[in-house]
């Protein structure tokens, strides 16, 4: 059995779905942040796979993925910093309790 | 005068009083308020100008072939392919005669008003309205287009409203003004409907063109009849014919010179003029023409009966005006343009004179109630003499003006319709009776009032004398049929034998006998007292009550139709419909939005995860729809 584009795409969508589920259902801000990282990883896999199988001569997908990793790192840093700030102020990171924007 | 009047000056005839109106409202009232007489002088000056130009126009017309002048008109309202309305003037003998009537009576009334309105705080306003009215009336008779005519028609109605309510601080005057406006408006609706009907069927509003269409039969007979009836409805409102006559007696709340000009000589005659102007339409619709004749004949006797019992001098004159307007309509219906307009022409002078006489009497005694007058012939000889001449004229005594036109109408009625002739003949008797009842009660016997009466100043007496001369001679123009001939319709019944020749016919003798017996009865009851007026009114008490209650028409219109039928039922129903259905719909929309908002804002939970879920659902929906549409 050789690995085809489909296998990577299935992996990518499974990972994306897991991440999405986590991001939408978990209460802890840290877990949500982790779920978002999983989704970014899933997208990166899909990008690299497409690049490898569809246009092997170009490295567009790979370059994009590097950008995604960089941005994800920055995002994780800023996100965690925000979560710490919230925790210091409100002693909780349960996002159902963080609802100041509610009507 | 040899030279034909230049076109520009023809336009000036009706623009001159407009200039006076603008001057008074914009300059004299604001800046020269302390000089009240000035607005009077300006009005008199401009109307004199109009009169001179009108006379010149008449002279030009007499010289012109076919007695018509073509004045170049200009485009007024053009919508490519559908509407093309010209603003122009119709200059024929009918216009010229109306111009003379309006300017002469208007001039006399304006001069008289200088005395009558002396010291009134609304002096400027009075003359401003009077100028505007004269403009509108002159414009109405000159317009060559139904739409323009309608504009001026409404404008005279507006001026009538403003002048009836001139003393608006009196509730009765304000109420009368409102009544006049609303009642005439009912008729105007018919006029407007007729204009629209004609326009959608012929595509033109030009009077001359409509005439030719009517003559050639290009308008279907049903359309023609309805259009003519609609136009006549407008005339019924304006000329206070039955059943829309109720506003005119109340309109007497206005200043007396206003009654003389607007509610006796000119505006109320506009209805008669309108029918005459559109006469070819009526001529080709026998139904419409007989409607005119019957309404006119009925109104003549109907109004005369109410005139018999009124005790207010102006109200007697008002009912007399309605009755005489009915005569004119009858004349149009059975005889033709020349006969109806001839009576209008004569009536304008003697009726204006009667009103000015009533105003003069009021000036002296401060009342309009003839029971509080009497004996005034000694202290007011000029007023008495002129009033007597006008009364003889309206009663139709040879050789005064009223005699000539009245006998023309009677002769036409006799040859067309016996019933209408009999009604008209009885009206002759009643007219003579109620006029001389007023004469004997006002001027005869001993004075019964409390004020000390005096003769009016010359500024009031002179116009009355001028009108008295006209009330004698204006009928002579048709003694040999000249008037009818000039109007170009030629349909004159009988009397063209001249001044004395007319007396060789039997009909004038019958009408003279009727009028004479009316005068005699009035003399017997109110001057010689051979018969007691009280006992006669008691003897005919049911009729007396019927007449003095005005056949309960006011009650019928105001209480039954106005209050019960319209206010209590139709309008109340409309109000329910409005407050429940229409307001309900509007409020319902608002309430739905509020309720929806209250429900939907619960979704704005502040939880990002829920928002995220919606984003995902949205993306999915887009993706699925893209896949499905393929």
Gap from A34 CA to chain B (nearest CA, Å): 14
The residue among B245, B350, B366, B362 whose CA lies nearest residue B307 is B245
Q: Give tens-digit pLDDT for B29-69.
A: 888 777 778 888 889 999 999 999 999 888 888 887 777 77
Sign of CA dihedral B350, B354, B360, B361: positive
pLDDT digits (tens, 9 = 90+) for B302-353: 999 988 888 888 999 999 999 999 989 998 888 778 888 888 989 999 999 9
Q: Which one-letter DSSP state was computed for residue B460?
A: H
Chain A residues with beta carbon closer than 8 angstroms to that of B613: 24
Model-level pTM?
0.78
Chain A residues in contact with chain B using a Cβ-Cβ cutoff of 8 Å: 20, 23-25, 32, 95-96, 99-103
**Interface contact A95-B609, CB threshold 8 A:** yes
B489 has pLDDT over 60: no
Nearest residue of chain B to residue A21 (CA atoms) = B613
Residue to mutate among B601, B603, B605, with most A CBs inside 10 A, is: B605
Range of the domain at A55: 5-90
Residue B418 has pLDDT above 50, yes or no: yes
How does residue A39 score in pLDDT terms, banded at 50, 70 and 90?
A: very high
Give a yes or no: residue A101 inside a domain: no
- Mean pLDDT calculated for residue range B497-521: 81
Give the model confidence (pLDDT) of B73-126 as tens digits: 777 777 777 777 788 888 888 888 899 999 999 999 999 988 888 888 888 888
Domain CATH code at residue A17: 1.10.287.3510
| A24/B613 Cβ within 8 A | yes
Residue A97 falls inside a structural domain = no
Catalogue the long-range contacts made by A72-79 (C-beta closer than 8 Å, 24 or more residues apart).
Answer: A72/A37, A72/A40, A75/A36, A76/A33, A76/A37, A79/A33, A79/A36
Say how far apart CA B141 and CA A27 lie, in whole Å: 90
B84 φ/ψ angles, rounded to the nearest 5 degrees = -145, 95
A23 to chain B: closest CA residue: B609
- Chain A CB contacts of B604 below 8 Å: 102-103
For the cut 70, the answer to whether the pLDDT of residue B495 exceeds it is no
Contact A95 B607 (CB under 8 A): yes
Average pLDDT, stretch B532-546? Answer: 79
Contact B612 A99 (CB under 8 A): no
Instruction: Report pLDDT for B6.
Output: 83
Residues of chain A neighbouring B601 (CB-CB closer than 8 A): 103
CB contact under 8 A, B605 and A95: no
Judge whether B508 and B398 are in contact, CB under 8 Å.
Answer: yes
* Residues from chain A contacting residue B607 (CB–CB below 8 Å): 95-96, 99, 102
Question: Does residue A95 lie in a domain region?
Answer: no
Indicate the residue of B606, B609, B612 with minimum beta-carbon distance to A102: B606
At a CB cut-off of 8 Å and minimum separation 6, what does B501 contact? B495
Does B606 sit within 8 Å of A100, measured CB to CB? yes
Query: With contacts defined as CB-CB under 8 Å, which chain B residues touch A43?
Result: none
Reported as a pLDDT band with limits 50, 70 and 90, residue B1 is very low
Q: Is residue A42 part of a domain?
A: yes
Cα dist. B67→B4, B7, B91, B96 in Å?
12, 15, 9, 10
Q: What's the pLDDT band for A102 if we cut at 50, 70, 90?
A: low
Interface touch A102/B613, C-beta < 8 Å: no
Q: How far apart are CA B112 and CA B44, in angstroms?
A: 10
Residues of B with CB below 8 A from A99's CB? 605-607
Residue with tokens 């409390």: B450
Q: Is the model's pLDDT at B409 over the cut of 70?
A: yes
Is A28 contained in some domain? yes
pLDDT-derived band of residue A7, with 50, 70 and 90 as boundaries? very high
What number of C-beta contacts closer than 8 Å exist between A and B? Answer: 25
Which pLDDT band holds residue B155 (cuts at 50, 70, 90)? very high
CA dist B490 and B552 (Å) reads 42
Alpha helix locations (H) across B396-457?
401-416, 418-443
Residue A52 lies in a domain: yes
For residue B379, what pLDDT band results from cuts at 50, 70 and 90?
confident
pLDDT beyond 70 at B432: yes
Does residue B254 contact residue B315 with C-beta atoms inside 8 Å?
no
Please list every residue in chain B whose beta carbon sits closer than 8 Å to the beta carbon of residue A25: 609
Complex prediction ipTM:
0.79
Instruction: Provide the mean pLDDT of chain B.
Output: 86
In a domain, A84, yes or no: yes
Q: What is the DSSP letter of B329?
A: H
| Residue A100 forms part of a structural domain | no
Between CA A49 and CA B491 the distance in angstroms is 109
Nearest residue to B273 via CA among B52, B487, B492: B487
One DSSP character per residue, B523-581 reads IIIIIS-SS-HHHHHHHTHHHHHHHHTGGGHHHIIIIIIIIIIIIIIIIHHHHHIIIII
CA atoms of B517 and B434, how far apart (whole Å):
12
Which residue in A23, A32, A99 is closest to B606 by CB distance? A99
Q: What pLDDT is stored for residue B481 in this prediction?
A: 65
B607 with A23: Cβ contact below 8 A: no
Residues of A in contact with B605 (CB under 8 A): 99, 102
Q: Quote the number of domains for chain A.
A: 1
Question: Which residue in B312, B299, B298, B235 sits closest to B267, CA to CA?
Answer: B235
- Using a CB–CB cut-off of 8 Å, the residues of B that contact A are 601, 604-609, 612-613, 616
Contact A95 B608 (CB under 8 A): yes
Average pLDDT over residues B434-449: 86
What is the per-residue pLDDT across B240-279, written as a single tens digit (0 to 9) for each? 888 888 888 888 888 989 988 888 888 888 999 999 988 8
Mind telling me how many Å the CA of B611 is from chain A's nearest CA?
A: 9
Beta-carbon separation of B606 and A24 below 8 A = no
Whether the Cβ atoms of residue B359 and residue B256 lie closer than 8 Å to each other = yes
């Amino acid at each position: 059995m050789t690995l085809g584009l489909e296998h990577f795409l299935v992996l990518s969508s499974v990972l994306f779905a897991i991440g999405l589920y986590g991001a939408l259902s978990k209460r802890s801000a840290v877990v949500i942040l982790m779920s978002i990282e999983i989704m970014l990883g899933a997208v990166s896999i899909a990008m690299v796979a497409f690049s490898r199988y569809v246009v092997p001569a170009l490295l567009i997908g790979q370059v994009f993925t590097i950008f995604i990793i960089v941005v994800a790192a920055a995002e994780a840093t800023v996100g965690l910093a925000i979560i710490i700030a919230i925790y210091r102020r409100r002693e909780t990171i349960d996002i159902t309790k963080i609802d100041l924007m509610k009507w | 005068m040899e030279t034909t009047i230049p076109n520009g000056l023809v336009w000036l005839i009706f623009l001159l009083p407009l200039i006076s109106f603008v001057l008074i409202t914009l300059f004299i009232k604001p800046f020269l308020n302390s000089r009240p007489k000035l607005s009077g002088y300006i009005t008199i000056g401009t109307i004199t100008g109009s009169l001179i130009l009108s006379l010149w126009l008449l002279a030009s017309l007499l010289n012109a072939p076919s007695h018509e002048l073509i004045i170049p008109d200009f485009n007024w309202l053009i919508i490519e392919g559908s509407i093309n309305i010209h603003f122009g003037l119709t200059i024929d003998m009918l216009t010229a005669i109306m111009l003379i009537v309006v300017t002469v009576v208007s001039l006399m009334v304006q001069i008289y008003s200088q005395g009558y309105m002396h010291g009134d705080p609304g002096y400027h306003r009075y003359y401003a309205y009077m100028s505007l009215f004269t403009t509108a009336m002159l414009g109405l008779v000159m317009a060559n287009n139904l739409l323009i005519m309608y504009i001026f028609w409404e404008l005279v109605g507006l001026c009538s409203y403003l002048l009836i309510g001139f003393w608006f601080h009196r509730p009765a005057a304000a109420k009368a003004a409102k009544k006049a406006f609303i009642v005439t408006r009912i008729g105007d609706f018919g006029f407007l409907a007729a204009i629209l009907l004609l326009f959608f069927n012929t595509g033109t509003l030009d009077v001359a063109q409509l005439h030719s269409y009517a003559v050639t039969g290009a308008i279907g007979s049903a359309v023609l009849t309805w259009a003519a009836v609609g136009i006549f409805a407008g005339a019924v409102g304006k000329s206070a014919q039955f059943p829309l006559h109720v506003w005119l007696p109340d309109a007497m709340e206005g200043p007396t010179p206003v009654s003389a000009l607007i509610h006796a000589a000119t505006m109320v005659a506009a209805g008669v003029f309108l029918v005459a102007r559109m006469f070819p339409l009526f001529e080709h619709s026998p139904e419409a023409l007989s409607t005119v004749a019957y309404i006119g004949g009925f109104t003549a006797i109907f109004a005369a009966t109410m005139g018999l019992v009124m005790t207010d001098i102006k109200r007697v004159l008002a009912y007399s005006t309605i009755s005489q307007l009915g005569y004119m309509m009858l004349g149009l219906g059975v005889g033709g343009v020349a006969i109806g307009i001839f009576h209008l022409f004569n009536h304008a002078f003697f009726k204006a004179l009667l009103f000015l006489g009533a105003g003069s009497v009021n000036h002296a005694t401060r009342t309009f109630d003839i029971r509080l007058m009497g004996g005034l012939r000694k202290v007011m000889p000029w007023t008495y003499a002129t009033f007597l001449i006008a009364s003889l004229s309206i009663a139709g005594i040879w050789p005064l003006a009223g005699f000539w036109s009245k006998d023309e109408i009677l002769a036409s009625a006799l040859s067309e319709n016996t019933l209408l002739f009999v009604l008209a003949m009885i009206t002759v008797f009643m007219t003579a009776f109620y006029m001389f009842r007023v004469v004997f009660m006002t001027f005869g016997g001993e004075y019964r009032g409390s004020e000390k009466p005096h003769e009016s100043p010359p500024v009031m007496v002179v116009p009355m004398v001028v009108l008295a001369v006209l009330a004698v001679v204006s009928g002579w123009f048709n003694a040999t049929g000249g008037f009818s001939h000039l109007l170009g319709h030629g349909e004159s019944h009988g009397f063209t034998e001249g001044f004395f020749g007319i007396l060789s016919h039997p009909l004038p003798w019958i009408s003279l006998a009727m009028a004479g017996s009316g005068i005699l009865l009035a003399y017997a009851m109110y001057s010689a007292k051979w018969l007691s007026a009280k006992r006669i009114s008691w003897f005919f008490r049911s009729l007396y009550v019927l007449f003095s209650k005005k056949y309960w028409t006011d009650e019928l219109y105001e209480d039954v139709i106005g209050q019960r039928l319209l206010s209590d039922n139709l309008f109340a129903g409309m109000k329910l419909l409005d407050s429940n259905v229409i307001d309900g719909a509007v409020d319902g929309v608002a309430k739905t939005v509020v309720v929806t908002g209250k429900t939907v804002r619960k979704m704005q939970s502040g939880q990002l995860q829920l928002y995220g879920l919606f984003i995902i659902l949205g993306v999915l929906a887009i993706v699925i729809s893209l896949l499905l549409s393929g």
